[in-house]
């Protein structure tokens, strides 16, 4: 049965009950846009009890992602990295489009493929799970769990220290593993990409490990939905000139894409 959708304040919200990860993703998007949420309104929109919404908000407050108020919650005055389990519900259709387009760009036949962490690279891994003659090098736990039981491909994990926010293994152990490998194509997920800032993310250790993977690759493809184009975060991974192709979607800022093209990077806009 098709889920009935309700349009509310710019968000399309299922009237039937959502899973918690999907609910909190919408809550955090709304906090980022509006600064506050009302628990009663959320309970009505998600078709769940007020107690369920209060538990959702409490979990997010425990993780320092919001501050609860009487009747709702407000955004916290800090920049934070949204954990990957909550990011999966954001811009889902755009990420799926980008992943499918990136899969189509990969060469056929034997291929050594590097995959960083991220929700879009995870979707790409699912699309590639049935390929043969594929060797995947990754530092991402969610990507590895998707591919570990696939008998027709070879999986190489880096080792390293696990980052809860991104499910990535990072640090010197991961870096040393990558330094001994040769990768034909690396597909990289980022938090931000721009001509000025290059590829950026929230964490400097993660950025260093991803940069090591990029240096070992002959060709680099960045997968980023339109919301990430033009954004610049704390930790630089590499300049945009190190990227062969950016795959994004039609919501990306056209001016930002033009600047990336002028820097010499091919831009592919995925469409339905």
Report the alpha-carbon angle 238-85-212, nearest 5. Answer: 20
Across residues 35-46, what is the average pLDDT?
Answer: 90
Find how far residue 70's CA is from the centre of its chain: 33
Comparison of pLDDT for 222 and 46, the residue scoring more: 222
For 153-194, write each residue's pLDDT tens digit.
999 999 999 997 788 999 999 999 999 999 999 999 999 999
Contact 209, 160 (CB under 8 A): yes
Show Cβ contacts of residue 115 under 8 Å, excluding neighbours closer than 6 positions.
Answer: 121, 124, 125, 136, 137, 138, 140, 143, 186, 187
Residue 82 pLDDT greater than 70, yes or no: no
The pLDDT value given to residue 63 = 75
For 84-98, write each residue's pLDDT tens digit.
555 555 577 899 999
SS3 content of the chain, % helix, strand, coil (to 5): 40, 30, 35
Percent of the chain predicted with pLDDT > 70: 88
Look over the chain and give the mean of its residue pLDDT values, rounded to a whole number. Answer: 87
Instruction: Name the region of 35 (left: φ>0; alpha: ψ -120 to 50; beta: rest).
Output: left
pTM: 0.75
What is the Cα–Cα distance from 116 to 216, expressed in whole angstroms? Answer: 13
What is the Cα–Cα distance from 35 to 244, expressed in whole angstroms? Answer: 38
């Amino acid at each position: 049965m098709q889920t009935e959708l309700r349009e509310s304040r710019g968000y399309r919200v299922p009237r039937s009950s959502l899973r918690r990860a999907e609910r909190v993703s919408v809550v955090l998007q709304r906090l980022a846009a509006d600064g506050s949420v009302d628990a009663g309104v959320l309970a009505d929109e998600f078709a769940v009890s007020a107690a369920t919404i209060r538990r959702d908000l409490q979990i997010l407050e425990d993780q320092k992602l919001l501050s609860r108020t009487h009747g709702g919650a407000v955004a916290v005055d800090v920049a934070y990295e949204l954990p990957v389990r909550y990011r999966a519900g954001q811009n889902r259709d755009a990420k799926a489009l980008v992943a499918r387009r990136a899969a189509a760009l990969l060469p056929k036949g034997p291929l050594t493929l590097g995959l960083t962490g991220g929700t879009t690279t995870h979707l790409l891994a699912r699309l590639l799970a049935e390929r043969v003659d594929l060797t995947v090098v990754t530092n991402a736990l969610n990507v590895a769990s998707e591919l570990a039981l696939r008998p027709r491909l070879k999986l190489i994990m880096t080792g390293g220290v696990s980052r809860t926010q991104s499910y990535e293994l990072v640090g010197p152990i991961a870096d040393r593993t990558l330094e001994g490998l040769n990768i034909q194509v690396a597909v990289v997920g980022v938090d931000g990409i721009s001509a000025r800032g290059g590829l950026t993310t929230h964490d400097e250790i993660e950025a260093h490990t991803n940069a090591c993977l990029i240096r070992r690759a002959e060709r680099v493809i960045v997968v980023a939905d339109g919301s990430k184009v033009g954004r610049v975060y704390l930790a630089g991974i590499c300049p945009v000139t190190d990227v062969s192709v950016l795959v994004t979607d039609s919501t990306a800022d056209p001016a930002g894409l033009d600047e990336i093209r002028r820097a010499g990077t091919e831009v592919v806009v995925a469409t339905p």
